[in-house]
Amino acid sequence: MHLMMILIAVTVAWWLRTSGNADLGSWNLRWRRSLFLFLFPPLLIFMTANAVVCMGTQGKMGGMYTDSFSYVLALICLAFSAVLCIKLGFQGWKSVKSARDCPQVHLAGKQVRLLQTGALFAGQMGFWQPELVISQGLLQTLSPTHLESVLAHEQGHYHYRDTFWFFWLGCVRSCTAWLPNTEPLWEELLALRELRADSYAASQVDPLVLAESLLLVVTNSPVSSEVCCAALGSSSIGDRLEQRIEALLTPPEPTPEPQMLSWHNFLLAFLPLITVIFHA
C-alpha cells in the first residue's frame, strides 16, 4: 500500500510537470503558475515520503499489509534530499564568507562590500539578511546615475528576500532534478525574479537608465554563484535580457504582494500526511 502511495505521488508530480505551460500570461500569472509547477510536485513527493516513514514497516493500511521496501525507499529519498540541502548550505556559507572577507565601504549612505575586480558585478550575498557586494570595476565604469539604478535593483532583491527564498528553491531544484521541466521552470523563476526587481527599481529611478545599466552589467558580468546570490547580471538568464529590456521600456505592470489565497493550493500537497491516521 505504501509503495502504491509513492507511485501515485510520483505519477501526479510527473503529470503536473509535463502538462503545465509556465511562459504565458501576465507577470503575476506566470509567477504563480511557475512557482506552483516547480514547487508542488516535489512537495507532494516529500510529504508522501514523510508519511511512509512515519507509518513505519509494521501494520496494515486499507486492509493491505505494509512492507519494508517502501519504507527504505522513502528513507533513502529523505536522506538524499537532506544531504543535498546540507551541501548547498555549505556552498552558500562559503560564498557568504568570501563576500564578508571583502572590505566595507560607504556608498549612498549604505555599507557595501567592495569586490576587488575590474569586472562589473553587483549582487546581494547572504540568506535572510544579505549584504550588497559591488565590484571596483562597477564603481569605476558606471556614472552616479547608472549606479543609483543598480542600487535600486539590488534593493528590490533585498525587499523580496530573494537570496533566502531562492536558496530553498535551489534545494528543491537539486533534489528533484530528475523530474521533467525542472531546469526550464528554474530559469523562468530566475527571470521573473529579475523582472520583479527591475519593476521595483523602475518605480524609483528612470527605467531607461536602468535598462542602460542592465546592458552594461550583463554583457560584462562574471559568472557568479547562484547559491545565496541575487545579482543584476546573472549569467544564467542571459537569454532573457531582451525580455527585461522590453519590460523596462513598456508601461510598468503592477507587482502585487503575495496573497495568502495563492498559497492555499499548496495545502493539497500535505494530503498524504492524513493517511497516517488510517494506518494500524
Q: How many CB atoms lie within 10 A of CB 195?
A: 21
- Which residue matches cell numbers 509556465? 22
pLDDT tens-digit profile, the chain (280 residues): 677 888 899 999 999 998 866 556 677 788 888 999 999 999 999 999 988 888 777 656 555 556 678 888 889 999 999 999 999 999 988 888 888 888 988 887 888 999 888 888 888 998 888 999 998 988 988 899 999 999 999 999 999 999 999 999 999 999 999 999 999 999 889 988 988 899 899 989 999 999 988 888 876 665 555 667 777 766 445 457 788 888 888 866 555 554 444 677 788 888 887 877 666 5
Q: Per-domain residue ranges for the chain?
A: 1-278
- What type of residue is 97? K
* CB-side neighbour CA atoms (13 Å) of 280: 5
d(CA 211, CA 207): 6
DSSP letter for 178, please.
T
Q: How many CA atoms lie within 13 A of 176 on its CB side?
A: 26
The CA–CA distances, whole Å, from 144 to 76, 93, 107, 220 equal 53, 32, 11, 18
